[in-house]
Amino acid sequence: MPVLRHFLLAAAVFATGAAHAATEACPALLDHTFPRLQDDAPQSLCQYRGKVVLVVNTASYCGFTGQYDGLEKMYAKYRDQGLVVVGFPSNDFGSQEPGSNKEIADFCRLTYGVKFPMFAKSDVTGAATNPLYRQLASATGERPKWNFHKYLIDRGGRKVLSFPSTTPPDSRTLVNAVERALAERP
């Protein structure tokens, strides 16, 4: 019996250590959970550790809304190399995202065929800024000034680049940055 108890204690210590190591492996920048746009199911950004993450605040009724198409093409082209595009709809600029999460999800899927992960509508600027956007602004010194601002996070979750709304997904500047980030290993 003492051998079994010792074995169980050792297994518990190992499991606790493994869980702690897994938690530590998630970079602080990605250590957030947000509701998914389609169904409000909580999704941890830690699932993207080791990937290059392009974070974009989106809106359905904006002059830049057509960028959904380019973002989806970029995601499809580079996803197997480790890129994930994540969208955060926001009504912060010009009230250009007035719909419900379901309406936004339907619009993205039906109009642009969006398959990249989208999260529930949230604030990306102001007093109620979601915690990821607060960290991204702090890391880069740049807050979104409009819809479709982009942040590129490296595989290690440490280096962040910022791109204004006027930088389309197919711009050489953004594509080069994505390709460089994909070539780097954490």
Rounded Cα distance between 133 and 124, Å, is 6
Strands 150-153, 160-163: pairing kind: antiparallel
Q: How many CB atoms lie within 10 A of CB 14?
A: 10
CB-based contacts of 174: which residues, under 8 Å, 6+ apart?
150, 152, 163, 167, 168
Q: Which residues pair with 119 in a beta bridge?
A: 36
The tokens for 72 are 């989806």
Active site residue 62: yes
Dihedral of alpha carbons 108, 166, 178, 144, sign: negative
Backbone angles phi, psi at 87, to 5 degrees: -105, 140
Report, as residue numbers or ranges, the catalytic residues. Answer: 62
